[in-house]
A and B are shown apart, each in its own frame.
Chain A
Amino acid sequence: MNTGTKKKAAILFSTALLASIMAGCGGNNGNNEPAASNDGSPAAEASSGPVETLTVEVFDRGIQGQPDLNNNTWTKYVNEKFGKPNNAVVKFVTVPRSQEVDKLNVLMAANEAPDISFTYDGTTVTRFAKNNGLYTLDELLEKHGQQLKSYLGDTVLDYGKYEGKQVSIPAKRTLLAWSGLFIRKDWLDKLGLPVPTNKDELYDTLVAFRDKNPGNVTGVIPWGTAAAGMNYSFGNLVPSFWGPMSEEEFVTTTNWLKPGNKDAYKWLNKLYSEKLISPDFALDKTAKQADADVTNGKVGFYGANWDYPLTAKMREPLKQNAPDANYVPIDVFKNAEGKYIKETYNENGLFSFIPKSSKHAELAMKYLNWMADPEVLFFLQFGEEGVNHTMVDGIPQGIAQTGENMQMSNLNLDYTLIVNGAELGDTEKNVKTYAAALATGDKDYEKMAIDSYRINTTDGYTGFYYGVPNEASIKYGKTLGDMNKQMMDRLIVAKPAEFDALYDKLVKEYMDAGGKAVQEENVKHYREIKESGK
């Protein structure tokens, strides 16, 4: 009797256990599966024959109030206009913005990368191409990508070549400014100070911010920043300290060894020790604290992407928390020659590619080609007139959005993989359009964007494009990149007395960990290019 009960109980428990395991698996699958089926994807009823599913990567930027990244105005448009005619469903696979390369490596290794994957890291693409993991796109581009080809042009497409073969489709970057510097004009006015135009004036201004606390806030931060690598930067401070050097040296030498580089960090170190820079910036790995400080009106001066103050996540909370705050873009780091040199972007943006594991390469190319249609691009960037924008003098003015109409990235750049920045023909119009779209009708912000773009393209230089992969960089690039960030943080926070010794020690470690190998290969490639050029 007793045994019988026990046996029954055993069966019951083991089945329950099994069932719960199954349920667990099922639940997970359910989560990974995008919601496309729920919203009655238009393609499903479109035509006979099996429906193809095209997967496309999209960044998850974790914006407050963002809609389902797989079910919103933009994805619906894509499925309606591209999916339906091609008897396909387009599903978006989310990848966290701050870990895009990490996640991509895992997806690629598991043969589960989306049919259209992308990254901003050129070295990663080269590594995949070198390991023979990407489709060669020349033929596909010729056959299904004529519209795309003529849109991007040869200059942009060249950035996506590996050993003469097209392995990725670079996006066209229409706005080339990189970082910018912003100062609280209202604080300057209150203190009766002019806008600083060089380092010394900036230093005095920051000291005044610290001592006089013009905003009357608790915990004033004269110069706000976050740990190296996330949105915040020191603008063109470091290049402004560089001394004269030959072109070869300028191009090939690692920044740490450039003449004057040490002085730049020494200056920052001094500022930090005098409590002019965010005290906990090195711990602020996600830049959330810096964002909060800026939008709470505690920060007098900061450096970030040239359009950072325009982004909705900065603009809206600032307006609420500190309505008087008025950040203006400035150019302050003048070098010995009296120039404000700064790095600007090359003409390419992110790199889209089709992994070898994809079974829909043709459809993927058709998708990118479809996107090059001006009408499609316009909708994805600006949405519908009257809903997402209003037309004023031929320039679409953005309307602030919430819910499923919201754009998670500036002009939906995460959904429009072939372009970065507004695309309406000439640069001036593009800047104006971009500004108007982001400023959502606020004329002050519009002006700020136009000023910021002008300032941050003045005296610009671009990174040298070798056209050949640097093997050492493929091997050590990521490690060196991580080291770079750590070195910056540590040097700024170091005790002033220990600075010199630490700088030399860290630079030596950096060079030993691959920095030297990368530099030597750069010199070799550079000389080869110059030789052949003659």
Chain B
Amino acid sequence: MKAVLDKSPDYASLKKKNKFINNLKRDVWLYALLMLPFAYILIFRYAPIYGVIMAFQDYNIFAGIKGSEWVGLDVFRFIFQQDSFYRALKNTLALNVYDLIAGFPAPIILAILLNEVRLAKFKKITQTVLYLPHFLSWVIIGGMVYLMFSNSGMVNTFLANLGLAKIEFLSQKVPWLMTYISVGVWQHIGWGTIIYLAAMTGINKELYEASDIDGCSRLRKIWHITLPGIKSTINILLILQIGRMVSIGFDRPFVMGNSLVSDYADVISTFVYRVGISSGDFSQATAVGLFQSVVGLILLIGANYIAKKLGEDGIW
């Protein structure tokens, strides 16, 4: 990169327009590389927005968007009359709040613990092992959970052999929620940890040295140096997480849910799957998706606004 900068001509002598073209010429390969993610976002994130029109139509899959009949807000009216929609919305928010409470601090704590480990080899191995579940598909995790936590699963057989009562991990409300949340934390913890560890390496080492001279204890160092050092990272991740509050992945609730817990496991994504893909009612599915995005946007802007008011950096 240094070489590139060295070559840059004298800016002051150039007009604005030339400057732009020159910039472009100079970094043409970087821009070419940028085109790839740019094209990705354009094709997969912006182009599909066209399909939002379906939410305002009685969409006929054979006639397409051009040939379908406009119905205004009828689809939304129909959705807002359905109890199952409110149930899905409520469950989505509830599961996300629990996830936030349990899942957000976990990687921070783990990252701090790993950061304090002296043995580099142990640290690396632990990090890798913790990171591995991130690559497992939920279908596989679902199978593992069934084998371990069902009524005749490993854990319950063990409990029974100890003479203890069985716990219905997968069919009762509270145990199911606990299982759902903890399995989620187990899967995500490694991924979050890596981000925080990266942020920690950016903290100036001299601060630690200075605190050593001042006779700081380990906990003090964590409290006064490490945590403030990763504060902005925590902040941004928290804002993003809040923005995602209304959206929820499909696989996890779908795989872990079953008919006995449908009252709390049916979320917006499974609702959309059911009405959209299973019943073929694409208008309804689109309308719910649109609703979800709008609420998500409001939450994101709200969280960002509050963060800025509190004197922190927002995401923009």
Contacts and interface: CB of A to CB of B under 8 A. Distances in A.
Interface of A: 1-3, 6-7, 10-11, 13-14, 17-18, 101-102, 105-106, 108-109, 124, 127-128, 131-133, 219, 227-228, 279-280, 282-283, 285, 356-357, 475, 477-479, 482, 485-486, 488-490, 493, 509, 512-513
B60 A132 contact: yes
A131 B84 CA distance: 26
B4 interface: yes
A479 B62 CA distance: 22
Q: Give the dominant DSSP class at A's interface.
A: helix
A3 B83 contact: no
B161 interface: no
B158 to A, nearest CB: 15
A14 B36 CA distance: 9
Interface stretch (B234-242, B272-280, B308-316): B272-280
Contacts of B280: 105, 108-109, 124, 127, 478
A283 B148 CA distance: 13
Most chain B CB inside 10 Å of its own CB: which residue of A1, A13, A106, A280:
A280
Interface string B251-275: 0000000111010000000000011
B208 interface: no
B166 to A, nearest CB: 9
B63 interface: yes
A305 B196 CA distance: 55
B61 A512 contact: no
Given A282-B171, A282-B259, 10 more contacts: A2-B2, A14-B29, A109-B61, A128-B62, A132-B60, A132-B63, A280-B150, A479-B84, A482-B278, A488-B259
B60 A131 contact: yes
A280 B151 contact: yes
Contact of A131 (B3, B63, B82, B275): B63
Contacts, number: 100
3 tightest A-B contacts by CB? A133-B62, A478-B279, A486-B259
Nearest to B157: A219
B180 interface: no
Size class of B's contact patch? 20 to 34
B36 A17 contact: yes
Nearest to A228: B259
A14 B259 contact: no
A356 B259 contact: no
B75 to A, nearest CB: 12
Nearest to B257: A285
Contact of B33 (A10, A102, A133, A227): A10
B7 interface: yes
A509 B86 CA distance: 13
B82 A101 contact: no
A372 B201 CA distance: 74
A70 to B, nearest CB: 25
Contact of B32 (A6, A14, A108): A14
A14 B28 CA distance: 12
Interface string B285-314: 000000000000000000000000000000
A3 B171 contact: no
A468 to B, nearest CB: 20
B260 A490 contact: yes
A356 B61 CA distance: 11
Most chain A CB inside 10 Å of its own CB: which residue of B2, B4, B62:
B62
Most chain B CB inside 10 Å of its own CB: which residue of A10, A109, A127, A475:
A109
Contacts of A11: 29
B83 A513 contact: yes
A219 B259 contact: no
A108 B63 CA distance: 12
23 contacts: A1-B3, A3-B3, A10-B29, A10-B33, A14-B32, A14-B33, A105-B277, A124-B280, A128-B62, A131-B60, A131-B62, A132-B63, A133-B61, A283-B170, A283-B258, A283-B260, A477-B279, A482-B278, A486-B259, A488-B259, A489-B259, A512-B83, A513-B84
B287 to A, nearest CB: 15
Interface in B152-202: 152, 170-171
A250 B146 CA distance: 40
Nearest to A21: B36
Contacts of A13: 33
A488 B262 CA distance: 12
Contact of A105 (B30, B62, B278): B278
A2 B3 contact: yes
Contacts of B83: 509, 512-513
A6 B63 contact: no
B60 A489 contact: no
A6 B7 CA distance: 14
